[in-house]
Amino acid sequence: LSKEQERNIVENVIRLEDIALLWNDNCKMKNPERVKQIFNEFVMGGPDRLQVVSDFDYTITKQRKSDGSPVLSSFGILNACESLPTKFIEESNNLHNKYRPIEIDPHLPMDEKVQCMIEWWTKTGELLVGFKLEQSEIDAVASKYKDSLRDNSHKLFDTLNRLNIPVLVFSAGLGNSVISVLKQANVMYPNVSVISNFLQYKNGLLDGFQKPMIHSFNKNETALDRHKYYDLVHNRDHIIVMGDSLGDADMANGVPASSHIIKIGFLYDHAEESLEKYMNTFDIVLIDDQTMNVPLALLEAVEKKEAVRNI
Ligand code: MG7
Ligand code: MG
């Protein structure tokens, strides 16, 4: 095919109404030309070069449900397990009150924040030691949140599975809850991996978290060290990153410099004050968008182009 013919095919396969999503009022891009260029590169490159790296809490799950009911985070699901004594919940809440403001403090230097996050995750792990908690109890709580995934998540995960595109769910939350929600929502396909904090057991009782610790500021290649996922991250050079926290934008840090990354940020809380920072951090910022429609539009274009290629 000539360059011109290829260009025509791309223009014919990317549905304009899908791309139109990008021009909605709640979709902000600092550099739309760059986004267009990467979209087209991803479509031309095809599924074999693509991978998705996504946060879990409030990225795969909704930030806001239309009926107003809250969505529990993966740690929230743990804390809702009734086998854990009130004492644990109280102390866990105290830790949250102490460390959460530090986590989101825009002025504190990063090295201080990291120290505090290590303390927080360590103390939570220590608090859990010696209690009895079965996965079935986490599953029972998680089952109430299997309908909390963003609209069109099933379509997105189905498409990614069909195209054999690996998905890394990278969560500083609790992996046991993450996997439970994904399984019960029927999206835990073989192409989906979860890197997160998993409960450690000793003689049938809780013994903190398995290592390595994933906290809010080491969700990047450093935590992937020695992990089997590392090679994948290095072989697929078209990367879609999705997150709702500024730190999530670093999840693909450490991939080869030649990689092309598109970062999609979901913004909900304090949208006005945070917009500028989000726009400087993510290529596409979606304000109060409780769907997967934007990543889905990109993948549908990839799939259509692939169909044309295979004719
Ligand atoms: N987060 C981190 N830790 C805890 C905890 O022990 N309890 C609760 N309720 N929340 C926690 O999804 C990751 C997010 O979970 C929060 C150790 C942090 O705010 C972190 O960003
Ligand atoms: Mg999140």
ipTM of the complex: 0.99
Mutate to test the pocket of ligand 1, among 74, 92, 124 (most ligand atoms within 8 A of CB): 124
Cα–Cα dist 39/55, whole Å:
21
Cα–Cα dist 16/201, whole Å:
52
pLDDT score at 83: 96
CB-count burial class (<10 Å; 0-12, 13-18, 19+) for 273: exposed
Q: Which numbered atom of ligand 1 lies nearest the CA of 245?
A: 21
Q: Which numbered atom of ligand 1 lies nearest the CA of 76?
A: 9
pLDDT score at 161: 98
Would you please indicate which residues are annotated as catalytic (active-site) residues?
55, 57
Please give the average pLDDT of every successive group of 10 residues along the chain, which has 311 residues: 62 60 93 89 93 97 96 98 96 97 91 97 98 98 97 98 96 98 98 96 97 91 66 83 95 83 96 96 98 95 85 75
pLDDT score at 234: 74
Mutate to test the pocket of ligand 1, among 58, 74, 91, 96 (most ligand atoms within 8 A of CB): 96
- Closest residue CA from atom 8 of ligand 1: 75
pLDDT score at 2: 64
pLDDT score at 136: 98
Q: Is 170 in the pocket of ligand 1 (CB under 6 A)?
A: no
pLDDT score at 14: 60
Report whether the peptide linkage leading into residue 109 is cis, meaning its omega lies within 30 degrees of zero.
no
Sequence-distant (6+) residues with CB within 8 A of 246 are 265, 277, 278, 281
Q: Is 253 helix (H, G, I), strand (E, B) or coil?
A: coil
Mutate to test the pocket of ligand 1, among 74, 75, 199, 251 (most ligand atoms within 8 A of CB): 75
Q: Is 254 in the pocket of ligand 1 (CB under 6 A)?
A: no
Q: Which numbered atom of ligand 1 lies nearest the CA of 103?
A: 19
Distance 20 CA to ligand 1 centre (A): 36
Q: Is 92 in the pocket of ligand 1 (CB under 6 A)?
A: yes
Helix then strand then coil, in percent of the chain rounded to 5, is 50, 15, 35
Cα–Cα dist 239/263, whole Å:
8
Q: Where are the beta strands (DSSP E) in the chain?
A: 27-28, 50-54, 167-174, 192-197, 199-202, 205-209, 238-243, 260-267, 284-287
Q: Is 121 in the pocket of ligand 1 (CB under 6 A)?
A: yes
- Closest residue CA from atom 19 of ligand 1: 100
Q: Which numbered atom of ligand 1 lies nearest the CA of 216?
A: 21
* Residue 231 CB neighbour total at 10 angstroms: 10
Distance 2 CA to ligand 2 centre (A): 43
